[in-house]
Amino acid sequence: MWNCDWEYQHQDVLKNCYERKMAGRPYGKSDPVRKIICEGCGCVFYTRIWSKKYCYYKKCGNTGYKKQLIQRRLAQPPRTQVCKVCGNTFTPKRSDALYCSNACRQRAYRQSVTDKTSGHDDHL
């Protein structure tokens, strides 16, 4: 059993160690238990692992990472871009967007197809 699995299953033991530590009655030689709030689900949990951010990584790790991504994206100001077909400015939904709409994207595709075929001579 991994240490994080044991901690997740034995929160009551860690809570007792933490409360003893706060009361000034440490258990054993060293009692590094700390109380933190999970970045994934927001619940309070107790741990001995100093780098731990989630109560249970398999459950809350992905959720917490998604929350961090959303916060980073919201912190950045929206960027504007110029459409390669019509020249209108727009706010792209994706980082690799080149066109303001599906109509412009289709127009650019059709133009590129006709440009490629117009250079070929079909002489037999």
Q: Indicate the average pLDDT of the chain.
A: 85
Two tokens, residue 55: 């109560």
Cα angle: 93, vertex 97, 103; to 5 degrees: 95
Two tokens, residue 20: 């003893």
Most confident of 58-67, 90-99, 110-119: 90-99
pLDDT at residue 101, rounded to an integer: 95
pTM (two decimals): 0.51
Q: Where are the alpha helices (DSSP H) in 1-124?
A: 3-9, 11-23, 57-75, 102-118
| Count of other CB atoms within 10 angstroms of residue 28 | 7
